[in-house]
Structure 1
């Protein structure tokens, strides 16, 4: 522990000595990182190159895949370095940079999924007016607003946390976390806590409200429509719902273990839960959309056959 001061570095306390197994963990995590990069890059290229995929849904998907690359890059390089290191320290500047990247990733992911639910709502409930509502300009503005809003909202906590006088420098995680730094503070954190609660409430409540509204309307159309309408709605909404549930599951456990004491849970389980939303989602999305969205699946098959 240290006296009340501004920390120049932080120690990530969730790591433990694994001996020679650290090289195995390094290889496994590196393979996972390479798979995430390759899977998301392939789908980004497929969407950008094929003009037939320059439709609203695929543009939102492209933004989603770009965000997966962004979030993974904010996590994996430092994670790989810490796995091989015997001293699990990180400079304060690198720690706050990682916090900004991971918080922005989570916010953009949630808002992007919410906008995608609105896109599916328009496509299913108002198919004739869909193209007039979802123009390329509107899509570009929506995506830009999502990234701008999330960047601003996630940058402000950094500005509030950097000046804090800290009584310790140990973060009990395998990556940097802003709330964990705030808990180390000896100085007043009232502004940090109030802003954190407001920002979290807005960032969660707005997307959740939009998702609940749109899917209520979609299910209403499904139950009152024909069999063909139900099948079309199910085929277009299944990948989105799967992605949404997967991300929500991981984010819930991350928020829960950050805010509440989970010392009774084994360390390996806590590490897995804290990494789930940052590692499984970036790999889950390319798989679920690549396999379930027929247009992307067909183009990928054609590319593979062409190369062979």
Structure 2
């Protein structure tokens, strides 16, 4: 019979990190630079929306929340990852592992839900422009933001409970950060039913928002076909950033979900690191660049702030 200590490891070990030798300092510098870019780009968007009264509208507030979520998710990953790049050992305590797990998984859930809410905002703005201000009131926006915050918590709380309550027979995680499923895979009990139920929940939680976003853009496309070329141009200008960010995030989620379906020994360590970094680096960088450079309302404010600071 296993001892209680073997069933509740006090720490976990990341096994995909290799001994990079002197190259570790180069990797550290590059990742630190990326982290600084993520912070700077998203802070610019947040300050632009907060300081400019003309941007205090649902569309721009949702964009501001997208940047806040990027900072939140990056803070749960990069400090620990940068430390691991310079360290010879890659152990993380059980409490910190679960904290990181919660932050990153909730970052993913909030991002997907927020992008779905933003699709609804564009649907009302383009398909029902005369009713936009009566439908997208401040109260409605707050309710949608509450949905963005609490819906992922309700979905993921079950997986957090499983990861924290199952007896574990190991402590080696074949990842660069903690996730619910990698911890559940260490369980001493049979997890076949849990795996099937988890896959079903994950597919539903991704398929429902994806279906809704596709529906909204089908409606928008039908409206644009019957409208003038000037209207189509304006609609495309406001929808293109959302299409790019949502498409990129869905690709990242599909890569992460596909990787979780394989046993740790079947996946190359380089592939694990690359795919893991993709959804934690690309969206937080792409989102502020796409919205900051493509939307003229935000771009004008940013350039105006830059001119003021230069004088």
TM-score (structure 1 length as normaliser): 0.95
Instruction: State the shift of 1:191 in Å.
Output: 6.4
Could you tell me whether the CA contact under 8 Å between 2:162 and 2:184 is conserved in 1?
no
Instruction: State the shift of 1:7 in Å.
Output: 1.5
**1:40-189 equivalences in 2 (<5 Å):** 40-189=42-191
**1:253-292 equivalences in 2 (<5 Å):** 253-261=255-263, 266-292=268-294
Instruction: State the shift of 1:187 in Å.
Output: 2.0
2:229 corresponds to 1:227:
yes
SS of the residue corresponding to residue 129 of structure 1 reads helix
Instruction: State the shift of 1:212 in Å.
Output: 1.3
1:244: which partner in 2? 246
For structure 2, list consecutive stretches of 5 or more residues without a partner in the other structure.
none
CA RMSD, 1 decimal? 1.8
How far, CA to CA, are the matches of 2:203 and 2:195 in structure 1?
Answer: 12
SS of the residue corresponding to residue 75 of structure 1 reads helix
Could you tell me whether the CA contact under 8 Å between 1:110 and 1:207 is conserved in 2?
yes
User: Quick one: structure 1 residues 261 and 65, their matched pair in 2 at CA, closer, same or farther if it must change by over 3 Å?
Assistant: same
SS of the residue corresponding to residue 67 of structure 2 reads helix
SS of the residue corresponding to residue 166 of structure 2 reads coil
How far, CA to CA, are the matches of 1:269 and 1:6 in structure 2?
Answer: 29
How far, CA to CA, are the matches of 1:195 and 1:146 in structure 2?
Answer: 23
How far, CA to CA, are the matches of 2:157 and 2:94 in structure 1?
Answer: 15
Instruction: State the shift of 1:244 in Å.
Output: 0.8
Instruction: State the shift of 1:288 in Å.
Output: 0.5
Instruction: State the shift of 1:266 in Å.
Output: 4.7
Could you tell me whether the CA contact under 8 Å between 2:77 and 2:104 is conserved in 1?
yes
2:17: which partner in 1? 15
Instruction: State the shift of 1:66 in Å.
Output: 0.7
How far, CA to CA, are the matches of 2:157 and 2:305 in structure 1?
Answer: 41
Q: Which of 300, 304, 307 lines up with 2:306 in the alignment? A: 304
Structure 1 consecutive aligned stretches of length 4 or more whose deviation exceeds 4 Å: 261-266
Instruction: State the shift of 1:261 in Å.
Output: 4.8
Instruction: State the shift of 1:142 in Å.
Output: 0.7
SS of the residue corresponding to residue 14 of structure 1 reads coil
